[in-house]
Amino acid sequence: MPCSSNSVPGWIYIPPLQSLQRSRCKKDRSNKMPNEWEESEVKIMTDMKKRYVHERPKPDGKAPTSRSKKDKTRRTKPRYVLGFLFDDDYHRVLLILKDHPDWQRGLFNGIGGHINEGEEPGDAMHREAMEEADVDADWSEYRVIKTNGYDLHCFKASDTTSLLGAITLTNEMVGWYLLDNMPACVSFTREYIDQALVEN
């Protein structure tokens, strides 16, 4: 068999494996049509770009999550407090005649209101009681109602002195009423009062 000048007589020259792989790749590529090769190459690059954009970290170093919008909604969901102040014997309760929102106008409910951003429910309950009735009581949370639209934290307290000393400080009148003879209330008020009495 004829050999090159660098080969050894009687030996067959076998090219290195890397050379075979390079020639094979060239052969495979040559078997494809130019447009077909370019399209597959573009598709690979596009997929890699999409994956990079989707998985690359945010500027703060945290990886993006698909729940970010839900978390934002959860953080911004309004929260409220509602409190019922009883006398020491749980025979009377402090109520407020609501003027707003519209669906509560003309009906009685417990004192309470909106929880400010960064404020704890207990602090909000104490603040609302002071603002609406000048009541400084020891409030305890007994129920939390979570809905898709809002969270409601229910509180109760028993203090005859605070109950009798409550005064109206806003355009919504406050006063105490016997549990056996309550005025027309918001639909859920009686239910929440009864649960506060059960939890006592």
**pLDDT, tens digit, for every residue of 52-86?**
555 555 566 665 555 555 555 456 799 999 999 99
Q: Please, which pLDDT band fits residue 3 given cuts at 50, 70 and 90?
A: very low
Q: What is the three-class DSSP state of 111?
A: strand
Model pLDDT, residue 38: 58
Q: How many CB atoms lie within 10 A of CB 81?
A: 27
Residue 190 token pair: 């009686």
**Predicted local distance difference test score (pLDDT) of residue 135:** 96
Return the closest-CA partner of residue 16 out of 28, 5, 8, 24: 24
pLDDT at position 56 is 54
Q: Which of 98, 108, 161 is nearest to 134 (CA)?
A: 161
- Count each helix (H run) and each strand (E run) in the chain, helices first: 6, 7
Which amino acid is it at 29? Answer: R
User: β-strand 151-158 against 79-86: which pairing, if any?
Assistant: parallel
**Span 108-115, average pLDDT:** 97
Q: Where are the domains of the chain?
A: 17-55, 78-199
156 — phi, psi (to 5°)? -145, 160
Three-state DSSP class for residue 83: strand
Q: Is the pLDDT of residue 177 over 70?
A: yes
User: Which of 187, 185, 165 lies closest to 97 in space, CA to CA?
Assistant: 185
Q: Which fold has domain 78-199?
A: Nucleoside Triphosphate Pyrophosphohydrolase (3.90.79)
Q: What kind and span of H or E run contains 82?
A: strand 79-86
- Which one is predicted more confidently, 29 or 177? 177
